[in-house]
Structure 1
């Protein structure tokens, strides 16, 4: 099923071939997803920086393919290879910018890692925690004792984490 989803669909082949590395999978040599990934990376990317970029683009393409297939199955929306690839590249660019910012940030504590704990809000406030998902937002609300006040999940269709 995964092999079909990521490789055998005609529009899927267009996504991989249109990628900046112009990949056309040799379907006869692929038996498992991990063998495909290893073969793909070893044949396409040689040096470390290019390999990291390739792995990231591969992962974002796979994620966007998954989302497009879900929309095709559950919302009857025809997948567009160009849109999938455009969104994957956009995600990769956003990821690269965030990674660059993270490496420029000064280190506050270079010692042993510290554990992070949830801290309660002062009375009469509540604390609202929101996840960072793109298509569904989970919200959990707790009071000063840590007791659950409420929770919800809602779909919201965003094109990137920045929205």
Structure 2
């Protein structure tokens, strides 16, 4: 298992290919939003406040307002989930899980537009995200229906998770594969020092 730590203050700030990151890296490219022409394309703009992204959020089953009056940062959007988790953790986890898939497919549609000149409609993004979320939930909530032979390995008798220091996030990831079929899976989870779940991603073979 691999452990990595990142700062909340700059969550993936320059790791995602948007105009803001290109400017920070001194890359001579038009930093405006390719879709709407916003003067500076930020991560928050692309995933939350671009008119296309807004249409996705409002049309989804979350029906969530994504505008942030004081800032346009993913970190501020994440903080808005704290009251929801405080009032109903189980419901919040389900909603945040869906939100994670919406974020991913908004980004996928963004890349398809830029690199393949393919136009997604907001409804297509919602449909694909909710379908993927349902498939994910069915795998997570149900025990495996089939058994497979795996290579025996020695694991520690007890495992414990060590939280990161505030204000850091910790990313845990692991992968496994079935030797005979050549198929494998990947899991990623992001949590803060309180164990608050920021994002969960699971890729499993069909």
TM range (shorter): 0.5 to 0.7
Partner secondary structure for residue 78 of structure 1: coil
- Bigger radius of gyration: 1
Structure 2: distance between partners of 1:4 and 1:97: 31
> Number of residues paired by the alignment?
126
Q: Could you say which residue in structure 2 is the equivalent of 1:65? A: 106
**129 and 53 in structure 1: CA distance in 2 versus 1, 3 angstrom threshold:** same
1:1-163 → structure 2 map (5 Å cutoff): 1-39=42-80, 41-42=81-82, 46-102=87-143, 112=157, 129=182, 163=206
**Is the 8 Å Cα contact of residues 55 and 122 (structure 2) preserved in structure 1?**
yes
**81 and 64 in structure 1: CA distance in 2 versus 1, 3 angstrom threshold:** same
Stretches of structure 1 lacking an aligned partner (at least 5 in a row): 122-126, 134-159
Structure 1: distance between partners of 2:158 and 2:144: 17
CA displacement at 1:112 relative to structure 2: 2.1
Residues 118-143 of structure 1: CA distance to partner in whole angstroms, max 9, x if unpaired?
Answer: 9xx9xxxxx8855559xxxxxxxxxx
Between 1 and 2, higher relative CO (CA 8 Å, sep ≥ 6) is seen in 2
Partner secondary structure for residue 69 of structure 2: helix
Partner secondary structure for residue 29 of structure 1: coil
Stretches of structure 2 lacking an aligned partner (at least 5 in a row): 1-41, 148-155, 160-174, 187-202
**Is the 8 Å Cα contact of residues 60 and 91 (structure 1) preserved in structure 2?**
yes
Structure 1: distance between partners of 2:100 and 2:84: 15
More helix by share: 1
Moved over 3 A (4+): 42-46, 102-106, 127-133, 160-163
**104 and 30 in structure 1: CA distance in 2 versus 1, 3 angstrom threshold:** farther
